[in-house]
Amino acid sequence: MNKTIVCTESYLIRGGQDKRFYPFLELEYDEWIIYEDDFPKYYINLSLDSTSNSSFEKWLISQLKSGEKLQNLVISLGKQYGKKWSIFSSQLGMEVEGSHKSEKLELEILDDKIFNVGK
């Protein structure tokens, strides 16, 4: 399983004791984070000009080009594996003002090693 380090920021969540929200505001337009149970777990780079895309990434890009919504695909794939996945955190808007903290998170890269899709 491949991993990557993502530099981001986090915020405390109102009423969540020490629980933090990770908005990933600094990602590029083709980079996505998949939240599992509202915590960042996976990273995907869907660069269309990349020649190194995995079979899974190529499959996902083809689904998006055919009109599928990334959020719907992610939720559906998560359900197939018994997971609660989303590309959006439900904690948006719940952050405590002034609780900003720089973070480095190690995320799994969502690729062929995790899924057997598109082969």
Token code pair at residue 19: 């629980």
| Predicted pLDDT at 119 | 43
| Predicted pLDDT at 35 | 95
| Predicted pLDDT at 58 | 85
| DSSP secondary structure letters along the chain | --EEEEEEEEEEBTTSTT-EE---TT--TTEEEEEETTEEEEEEE--TT-TT--HHHHHHHHHHHTT--HHHHHHHHHHHTT--EESS-TTTT-BPTT--EEEEEEEEE-STTT-----
| Predicted pLDDT at 101 | 93
For the entire predicted model, the pTM comes to: 0.85
| Predicted pLDDT at 71 | 96
Low-confidence ranges of the chain (pLDDT < 50): 117-119
| Predicted pLDDT at 118 | 45
